[in-house]
Amino acid sequence: MHPETAADECAAPGALLNSVDKNRFQSTVRRLHTLFNVYVSTCPVPIPAPGLIVTPDIRTQCERYLPIAEVTAIFNHLYTAALAYPPILSSTPFHNSMSWADTFAALPPRFQLSANPARLLELLLGDSDLLTRFLFASFLPNRFYGCIDRYPEQRIFVGEWLKNRGERQLNYLDAACGTGEDTYGLALLLSEAGFSPEDIRISGWTLEPLEVWSATNRRFPHDCGREMLLKGATAGLFQKGYCQSITFSCQDLLTVPSPEQYGGPKCFNLILCNGLLGGPIIHKREQVELVTGNLVRLLAPGGILLAADNFHGGWKRKCPQTELRASFEAYGLKCFEAGEGIGGLKPD
């Protein structure tokens, strides 16, 4: 379901967020204040500020007196306390950061409220709306996402494929849907091809519960501009009733979900797996092969699996497309070029 809401823009998915007792953080706030005071009284280089370019000297001095490991542990404690599920901490700006200065520079401008991480923590603990925005910004960073038409050549390929489909009742899966832009993009393509809402069923899967909430509700508490763009682009779909044909849920592609688990069809005619295989999240050979095998098992005979990405050259060297193609072929798919990525056809 995709309920429209007149609630405040900061309204949060109550089932996913906990009320945080700021008293539990008093000692950690004091500890951070102490570290920061030592840092600013000792450091000979500029402290973090909006627009500051983090040089090696700034990074070294910051790390010497205000270790990122301590700051990260405290904010990870906040994430764990604020979320009603085990958070995927690798998504946050603290993960693998080289210093607090680097983390500060990576924060969206609205959260660059103070060079002192203790002060930022205090502000978050004292303002539930600000904390909600911070959580969404931490786990739905803009670097993970794009627009509805991220892969235009793949979109053209799918459009041509749809023209040759005699069958009208079709099931589709966006197997790494994120916040749903590609999922809605597929629905728009189907609408343009003349498929009615009753003809189709589209499922979007992701690991992150906040992504599921944002995709389902088309809402981004941390980014009103992005929210307006998505709602504007999909308004026609909702007017035509396509909202009843699109569902989002949390699923782990490293396991083999059953139809009972995801409440969907046993097989899919088209599976998109964009921006996942061969990149920062799934790149080890055994993981790529496991996910590929799981998706192939969900693919209907005569169905196709498509995988595209916009990863930089470093990831493409680490997991070249030849390895992904070999994985597809190992599970019996007939491979072909499909826009920005590759595709695999499951024989009838």
Q: Name the burial class of residue 219, with classes exposed (0-12), middle (13-18) and buried (19+) by CB atoms within 10 angstroms of its CB.
A: buried
Contact 305, 336 (CB under 8 A): no
pLDDT tens per residue across span 87-115: 999 989 999 999 999 999 999 999 999 99
Best CA proximity match to 346, nearest among 306, 300, 307, 308: 300
How many C-beta atoms lie closer than 10 Å to residue 228's C-beta?
Answer: 12
Residue-averaged pLDDT of the chain = 89
Q: Could you give the angle at which helices 26-42 and 68-82 cross, rounded to 10 degrees? A: 150
> Which strands, in side-by-side order, build the sheet including 341-345?
246-250, 200-206, 170-174, 268-272, 299-307, 341-345, 334-338
Contact 200, 209 (CB under 8 A): no
pLDDT of 167 above 80? no
Contact 15, 37 (CB under 8 A): no
Residues 1-5: contacts with CB within 8 Å, 24+ apart?
Answer: 1/216, 1/243, 1/244, 2/216, 2/217, 2/218, 2/238, 2/243, 2/246, 3/217, 4/238, 5/217, 5/219
How far is the C-alpha of 74 from the C-alpha of 20, rounded, in Å? 14
pLDDT of 11 above 60? no
**What is the rounded average pLDDT of the residues 266-292?**
90
Higher pLDDT, 12 or 129: 129
Contact 36, 100 (CB under 8 A): no
**What is the rounded average pLDDT of the residues 324-329?**
93
Predicted pLDDT of residue 260: 63
Cα within 13 Å of Cα(308), Cβ side: 23
Predicted pLDDT of residue 92: 94
Predicted pLDDT of residue 149: 84
Predicted pLDDT of residue 165: 78
Percentage of the chain lying above the pLDDT 70 cut? 93
How far is the C-alpha of 176 from the C-alpha of 182, rounded, in Å? 9
pLDDT of 58 above 90? yes
Cα angle vertex 260, ends 91, 210, to 5°? 20
Contact 50, 112 (CB under 8 A): yes
Best CA proximity match to 242, nearest among 194, 188, 204: 188
How far is the C-alpha of 194 from the C-alpha of 191, rounded, in Å? 5
How far is the C-alpha of 130 from the C-alpha of 143, rounded, in Å? 21
Best CA proximity match to 199, nearest among 241, 157, 245: 245
Secondary structure element (H or E) that encloses residue 334, with its range: strand 334-338
Q: What's the CA dihedral at 46, 50, 52, 57 to 10 degrees?
A: 50
Architecture of domain 152-345: 3-Layer(aba) Sandwich (3.40)
Domain boundaries, given as residue ranges, for the chain: 14-139, 152-345
Q: Where are the beta strands (DSSP E) in 185-244?
A: 200-206
How far is the C-alpha of 204 from the C-alpha of 268, rounded, in Å? 12
Predicted pLDDT of residue 5: 37
